[in-house]
């Protein structure tokens, strides 16, 4: 596409600040390689916006983003991937990469996402949810409500990413402590039955006619007894991505079909990574990430590279999709 000026937002207020900075640095380099002019911008942990080391940055609703044609918000977790930044960018009337306000908020909330998938009949692992007030008033009753999920289970904050605050519970006495840990990060916790299946991920790219990458299989350095925690994701050698996943051709196609279906059902645009468990030939949806890790070697980009779309071209397509979506939205009369 014709080169444009892209503002890349990195950092942010969430616990995924450092991961976001690494993703943003890779995106900046890749966009420059693709021929675009890039304006790097860092959001500090306190929420200050800094461009070229200077803050504050003045933003005027309806006036676009200063010096940029499009914004690439490479922000993970709360205050970046949950619809808040997307709402700000909508108010500025500037094109931006990725999902809109509703899809971002929906997919960030693991409970709402799973409720929607359940309503649509999409196969997934069994799950339950507990709010902080419910757990505070009657922790034992909350634990009894979740007993039907069996063991092991995974306990997670409902609206965080990068495996922050997650615990695996293998013993009956461990659920209370795991819930307390998750609820220290969020007012809502989700509890998911563990799946014995393969952990498989699939990347999606597009707006109205999205395409899916080849699925990839996550192999952990810790072996079958380990799980895909923060260390496995971000420590060198913690995991290995096998592409294509070691599945039958029919099962791989089922993964790709479900990835696109979930992308459409949630109203996503631009990009997403959909995570699955595959038990024999049964494909179970786990979650959808609207702004996954975005270094050149991160799973999202690696899956498309293995599918024939190199990193600079992938970024170029995402910028074009952002401009396309913005133009289409502005054609409507509000």
**Which residues are annotated as catalytic?**
16, 162, 234, 273, 275, 287, 289, 293
3-state secondary structure of 65: strand
The phi, psi pair for 171, rounded to 5°, reads -115, 145
Q: What is the DSSP string of 141-183?
A: HHHHHHGGG-SSEEEEETT--TTTT-EEE-SGGGHHHHHHHHH
Taking CA atoms, 101 is separated from 86, 202, 306, in Å, by 5, 22, 30
Cβ atoms 107, 290 nearer than 8 A: yes
Residues 131 and 33: their CA atoms lie apart, in Å, by 46
Cβ atoms 239, 307 nearer than 8 A: no
Q: How far is CA 279 from the centre of its chain?
A: 23
Residue bearing tokens 């696109």: 260
Residues 131 and 284: their CA atoms lie apart, in Å, by 25
Residues 64 and 77: their CA atoms lie apart, in Å, by 24
Give the largest Cα separation in the chain, rounded.
60
Cβ atoms 40, 34 nearer than 8 A: no
């Amino acid at each position: 596409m014709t080169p444009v000026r892209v503002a890349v937002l990195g950092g942010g207020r969430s616990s995924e600040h450092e991961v976001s900075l690494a993703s943003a640095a890779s995106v900046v380099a890749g966009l420059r390689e693709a021929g675009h002019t890039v304006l790097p911008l860092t959001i500090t942990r306190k929420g200050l916006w800094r461009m070229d080391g200077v803050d504050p940055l003045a933003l005027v609703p309806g006036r676009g983003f200063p010096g940029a044609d499009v914004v690439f918000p490479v922000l993970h977790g709360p205050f970046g991937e949950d619809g808040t930044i997307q709402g700000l960018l909508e108010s500025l009337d500037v094109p931006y990469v990725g999902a809109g306000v509703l899809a971002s908020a929906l997919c960030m909330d693991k409970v709402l996402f799973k409720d929607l998938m359940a309503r649509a009949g999409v196969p997934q692992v069994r799950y339950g949810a507990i709010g902080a007030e419910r757990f505070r008033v009657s922790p034992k009753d909350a634990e009894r409500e979740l007993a039907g999920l069996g063991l092991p289970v995974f306990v997670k904050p409902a609206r965080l990413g990068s495996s922050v605050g997650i615990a695996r519970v293998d013993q009956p006495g461990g659920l209370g402590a795991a819930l307390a840990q998750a609820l220290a990060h969020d007012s809502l916790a989700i509890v998911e039955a563990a799946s014995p299946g393969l952990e498989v991920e699939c990347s999606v790219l597009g707006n109205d006619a999205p395409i899916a990458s080849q699925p990839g299989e996550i192999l952990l350095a810790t072996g079958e007894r380990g799980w895909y925690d923060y260390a496995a994701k971000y420590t060198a050698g913690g995991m290995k991505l096998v592409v294509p996943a070691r599945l039958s051709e029919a099962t791989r196609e089922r993964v790709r079909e479900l990835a696109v279906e979930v992308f459409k059902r949630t109203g996503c645009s631009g990009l997403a990574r959909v995570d699955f468990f595959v038990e024999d030939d049964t494909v179970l949806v786990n979650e959808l990430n609207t702004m996954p890790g975005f270094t050149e070697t991160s799973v999202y980009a690696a899956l498309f590279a293995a599918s024939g779309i190199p990193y600079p071209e992938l970024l170029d397509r995402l910028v074009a999709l952002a401009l396309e979506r913005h133009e289409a939205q502005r054609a409507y009369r509000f």
